[in-house]
Structure 1
């Protein structure tokens, strides 16, 4: 099976990747757009078609954005004197319908910066959704119930990664920007990795597979699809996190981990007893809360937190 066919299958699964905060128990509420004073426009691909302007909303205390047509990158840097030179581009999830900006973006970036790792939150382009919040919420609920149908997206036949062209371009531009300003931001250009959550994990994987110019030093798909892929010979070390009670991917095997292992590429896999899906840094009383500590330890053991000779 080609990489394109594999990732197309993963895309279908990703439409159920909305954070559990959107699982019908609490209503969505409109929110004012945050100031985002440090957000840098990436200038990728012009402005995609959309049925409405970029819209923010809250649910379960978390902040989300949808109808993103202008990709941005927000630096979250360590305090002066604490940076170790490593950097991570953070890609939130949301089924490509929206982005979980607080739970899987800003909070994760700040936690990394607190440990000396420069973090950059990627607000990548999403597919258009209905402008009315009530109608959008109904469409999300229909998606969960299996009644929703995914609108067609243009793709170029035979072009690997065409289904993810916007997200790949946005991630590629993010890597290029961080490398171009590495000295200013205290970043080692050879120690820039990518962490993605849910659909952001898929964006991370698609970028790794089909944008070799990005050359991530390491990747960490967090509760992403587990389907096997064709692993490039120079695939970066990979750190994978999944909860055993994830309702979307916990019972579908661990193909991507096995593929990395079979290809002889470094991989570490943490299957936590509980945590569900969309837990971000973690929820109280769940074993998956410890994943960030494990990730930092893995980075350290593999030399990513140490300056290179």
Structure 2
């Protein structure tokens, strides 16, 4: 992998609005247990439990955080298809990688909502439920851990490129397995195997970027959307996929830290587009009402269209 792995300094990438420059007050993250949704249409990426996982030690759990469904302790990674009406289908597909600090996945805010929007606009979408780092069984202990790490990150001075670029290798392996699976079954779903891309949010953006920069042509996305990722520079190969980046200037985690990621794509002479919104904060998902970030999905779709990625195969 070409992205630097600094798991020990993993920043908190929760898909909820950040709390400015100070640590969040106790209880700011409202967690509650949630019944697991019906996952009968989820397609496993592996036979049984994923390599190295132990569901008995830390079973998967669904939670509500500030009203949105999230999942933690994933040991059986899956994709769930959101297919467009055949009359509207473009033949393009996007794997949707939710964020959540590599502690959990914001399945509703940055998964299902995004996939449904894409399907409504003729783009096949697959929500990726990927492996994340294990969190304690105790909900109060998990909440306290996340609160501490959020506070640590938000208390740091804002310096260009000072957030370590970290990724969780099992998550990247799951993204690559998803690309291979969708390519293998592309005919079944009416998808062009050469037009399978990814869009990721926060930690999901880091996962998408790691898959994009990996030296594995069979498991690389054809295009990549990185929504509020860390903006650090990266080593970009000469054949890197086109990149779409969107972030808000008032992003409480990654805003105001430069544009090294975009500049790296430019230095490699690879296509890149940046949308830098005045307001939107971190975790705006398909767009925060009342801000220009509300146009993010329309702009992503238009970017795909102008690149010729949404032309139905003849």
Which of 20, 32, 54 is equivalent to 2:16? 20
Q: Residue 143 in 1 paired to residue 149 in 2? A: yes
- Quick check: 1:92–1:199 contact (8 Å CA) kept in 2? yes
* Corresponding residue of 1:36: 39
Q: Distance in 2 between matches of 1:300 and 1:278?
A: 25
Higher relative contact order, chain-length normalized (CA < 8 Å, sep 6+): 2
Q: Distance in 2 between matches of 1:36 and 1:208?
A: 28
- Quick check: 1:14–1:225 contact (8 Å CA) kept in 2? no
Q: Distance in 2 between matches of 1:54 and 1:244?
A: 35
Deviation per CA, 1:93-134: give whole Å up to 9, x if none: 011000000000000000000000000000000111001112
Q: Residue 228 in 1 paired to residue 233 in 2? A: yes
Name the TM-score, length of structure 2 as normaliser.
Answer: 0.88
* Corresponding residue of 1:239: 244
Cα RMSD of the aligned pairs, angstroms, is: 2.1
* Corresponding residue of 1:198: 202
Which of 145, 167, 192 is equivalent to 2:171? 167
- The alpha-carbon deviation at position 61 of structure 1 amounts to 1.8
Alignment of 1:257-272 (within 5 A): 257-272=262-277
Q: Distance in 2 between matches of 1:168 and 1:283?
A: 28
* 3-state SS of 2:247 partner: strand
* 3-state SS of 1:205 partner: helix
Name the TM-score, length of structure 1 as normaliser.
Answer: 0.89
Q: Distance in 1 between matches of 2:29 and 2:212?
A: 36
Q: Distance in 2 between matches of 1:162 and 1:29?
A: 28
* Corresponding residue of 2:221: 216
Task: Give the 3 Å change call, closer, same or farther, for CA 64–162 of structure 1 in structure 2.
Answer: closer
Is there any run of 5+ residues in structure 1 with no aligned partner, and where? 148-160
**Greater percentage in helix:** 1
Which of 123, 131, 139 is equivalent to 1:125? 131
Displaced runs of 4 or more, over 4 A: 11-14, 21-24
Count of aligned residue pairs for this structure pair: 292
- Quick check: 1:21–1:60 contact (8 Å CA) kept in 2? no
* 3-state SS of 2:5 partner: helix
